Amino acid sequence: MKAALMMDAKTLPHVFGDAERRRLHELLEVDFSQVATSFDDLDSAALSEVEVLLTGWGVPRVDVRALGAMPALRAIIHWGGSVGFIDPAATARGVVVSSARDANAIPVAEYTVALLILAAKDAFWVSRQYSAEQRAIDREAELAHTGLYGTSIGIVGASSIGSRVMEMLRTFAVDVFLFDPFATAQRAEELGATLVTTMEELASRCRILSVHAPEIPATRGMVSRTVLAALPDGSTVVNTSRGTLIDQEALVDELRSGRLRAMLDVTDPDVLPVGHPLYTLPNVFLTPHLAGSTGSELRRLGQATVSEVARLVAGLPFAHPMAI
């Protein structure tokens, strides 16, 4: 099968190491020196013979025009997460699609759980106090409210990442509550959580609120001013999903009041403009979208892609198919 690579060229060596490239050469006819972010950069004659698109960050939209230029296309295998760049016409053509979304969920869930543990221990805020005051901290007197044991954690969304976070939390002695309008009480119980019916109830019952819903019009600003107000004093908001899911202006107001804390890996926009208060508020821990696959974790995405290619060549269905 002839394949084309559509992605940012600088990401390719981080995703596909020598072993992955050797295996792809065994499975496909692919030229790793030809990596494009525009279909106009590829020879039209060669494009007409492409049966498999290997895509990643930087992929252009696979629209009707691009599909028309690839009459032999059978599959699109994306080492990123979302496949919203693919026109639904691909499905009508019989093109099958796979994504490494599940593979990318692993580091996001791991990072989130790390933040939840640190939030429960007040680690970042105590660290700043310790450095500023340079004195002994009386843990029993000053940190009596901290600790992971028995902490209540609210999860917004039983997505692939949210579900994985809840599964990981099962190993800890914490109380987990879930809000997801599409989840059942049985599913929540399977994940070790208690299902609640409103965001306000979720907020009122937890000390840490962690956001994992998908970014769609219905979820924009779902962590609203009212929801934030329902959080108990001293609660922490954790967001490793998308910045648009939180009413950011309302969050800043709460943070300025000192009532809440936030650990944010995403913001709206991502990146914030220079001088934005979230950069400097003392009760904010801000990171530049680190939760997703970075560094060595990118190889997992490449390996997931190779596995799906092997299944395609063997005539097997994808292990991680995606609907368009």
Q: Look at residue 46 and tell me if it is in a domain.
A: yes
Same domain for 277 and 247: yes
Q: Look at residue 321 and tell me if it is in a domain.
A: no
Has residue 66 got a pLDDT over 90? yes
Q: Look at residue 52 and tell me if it is in a domain.
A: yes
Query: What pLDDT, on the 0 to 100 scale, is given for residue 247?
Result: 98
Tokens of 122: 């007040």
Beta bridge partners of 78: 55, 99
Same domain for 226 and 158: yes
Q: How many residues does the chain have?
A: 324
Has residue 197 got a pLDDT over 90? yes
Q: How confident is the model at residue 258 (pLDDT cuts 50, 70, 90)?
A: very high
Same domain for 158 and 88: no
**79 neighbors 302 (Cβ within 8 angstroms):** yes
Same domain for 273 and 175: yes
Phi, psi of 99 (to 5 degrees): -135, 155
Q: Look at residue 323 and tell me if it is in a domain.
A: no
SS3 179: strand
Q: Rounded mean pLDDT of the chain?
A: 97
Query: What pLDDT, on the 0 to 100 scale, is given for residue 324?
Result: 86
Query: What pLDDT, on the 0 to 100 scale, is given for residue 252?
Result: 98
Same domain for 153 and 78: no
Q: Specify the CATH number for the domain of residue 43.
A: 3.40.50.720
Q: Which amino acid belongs to residue 172?
A: F
Measured CA to CA, the distance from residue 13 to residue 303 in angstroms comes to 13
DSSP result, 192-212 = T-EE-S-HHHHHHH-SEEEE-
Measured CA to CA, the distance from residue 91 to residue 8 in angstroms comes to 25
Query: What are the tens digits of pLDDT across the range 74-104?
Result: 999 999 989 999 999 999 999 999 999 999 9
Query: What are the tens digits of pLDDT across the range 275-313?
Result: 999 999 999 999 999 999 999 999 999 999 999 999 999
Same domain for 214 and 89: no
What is the number of structural domains in the chain?
2
Query: What does each C-alpha distance from 262 to 59, 112, 210, 313 come to in angstroms?
Result: 33, 13, 10, 46
Beta bridge partners of 4: 53
Q: Look at residue 110 and tell me if it is in a domain.
A: yes
Instruction: Give the mean pLDDT of 168-195.
Output: 98
Same domain for 305 and 233: no
Tokens of 212: 């994992």
Phi-psi region of 50 (alpha: psi -120 to 50; beta: other; left: phi over 0): beta
Same domain for 109 and 92: no
Longest CA pairwise span in the chain (Å): 74
Q: How confident is the model at residue 139 (pLDDT cuts 50, 70, 90)?
A: very high
Q: How far out from the chain centre does Cα 172 lie?
A: 22
205 closest CA partner among 182, 174, 184: 174
Predicted TM-score (pTM) of the model is: 0.93
Q: Look at residue 199 and tell me if it is in a domain.
A: yes
**199 neighbors 156 (Cβ within 8 angstroms):** yes
Same domain for 274 and 142: yes
Measured CA to CA, the distance from residue 116 to residue 263 in angstroms comes to 9
6 closest CA partner among 85, 100, 84: 85
Q: Look at residue 324 and tell me if it is in a domain.
A: no
Q: Look at residue 306 and tell me if it is in a domain.
A: yes
Q: What percent of the chain has pLDDT over 90?
A: 99
Measured CA to CA, the distance from residue 311 to residue 313 in angstroms comes to 6
Same domain for 141 and 63: no
Instruction: Give the mean pLDDT of 195-199.
Output: 98
Q: How confident is the model at residue 126 (pLDDT cuts 50, 70, 90)?
A: very high
Domain that holds residue 16: 3-99+296-313
**289 neighbors 266 (Cβ within 8 angstroms):** yes
Same domain for 260 and 153: yes
Measured CA to CA, the distance from residue 219 to residue 2 in angstroms comes to 40
Same domain for 153 and 89: no
